Chains A and B, each alone.
Chain A
């Protein structure tokens, strides 16, 4: 499966993804500049991404922990998510997202 990641300079990359990793891990392991300071335990907000609107309804709903942690992020939008809390599945093949501003 593949996902599309747009970095903060607007460059779009199509990268290989798998269903064993979180979205953050896939982005980080590809060498794309995502801070993910806490390592993926939903304890910071530095893996903040904007999910393309047409994919939002396919994701699992945001839980309280993630929603609260987004309070720590800048420029939170309706399509904001923390990528460490998103587990990929086959339905999400082709997912498009953009890295949020730091």
Chain B
């Protein structure tokens, strides 16, 4: 079920889906889910709506794909210093208030935080420096550039 005929998925996936529909292997419904009810017989009742028409279906499984909302879930109970829904980190190591737990990307916060992909990479690079110490306490961390390090270039081309 999808709220409109157009999809944002890759064109190949969409045409595969439409092909399956043509062969009656997929039953595509236009509309939105308005509600669900847990039925006692191990089934789920799904209430759908398309424009003003409401319909009910009984299904075995429901896989809803909705929303992009940051939620800490169980991490909220890890005892980390939080600022509302975000995890406070320092800007040297991006470590949380609990040593060896790090937070990078949109989920963290610090003075001057910008939600940029660029900033996320920066945070990852600095965090990795500190993680190295936890992972290899006896090893020396040697800093190298991909532009000049043969060893790094070899690693990158072998992927």
Question: Nearest Cβ distance between residue B62 and chain A, in whole angstroms?
Answer: 14
B2 within 8 A of A: yes
Contact A45 B3 (CB under 8 A): no
Contact B68 A46 (CB under 8 A): yes
Count residues of chain B with CB under 8 A from any CB of chain A: 15
Q: Which of A35, A45, A71, A72 has the most CB of B within 10 A?
A: A71
Which segment of A7-15, A73-81, A90-98 sits at the interface? A73-81
Question: Nearest Cβ distance between residue A75 and chain B, in whole angstroms?
Answer: 7
Interface residues of A in 21-45 (CB under 8 A from B): 35, 37-39, 43-45
Residues of A within 8 A of B139 (CB): none
Interface residues of A in 45-90 (CB under 8 A from B): 45-46, 67-68, 70-76
Main secondary structure of the interface of B (DSSP, over half): loop
Residues of A within 8 A of B70 (CB): 37
Known: A39-B115, A68-B8. A74 touches B66 (CB 8 A): yes
Known: A76-B3, A76-B32. A71 touches B69 (CB 8 A): no
Contact A72 B32 (CB under 8 A): no
Can you list 20 A-B pairs, Cβ within 8 angstroms, ordered by A?
A37-B68, A37-B69, A37-B106, A38-B106, A38-B115, A39-B115, A43-B68, A44-B68, A45-B67, A46-B69, A68-B6, A68-B8, A71-B2, A71-B4, A71-B8, A72-B65, A72-B66, A72-B68, A74-B66, A76-B32
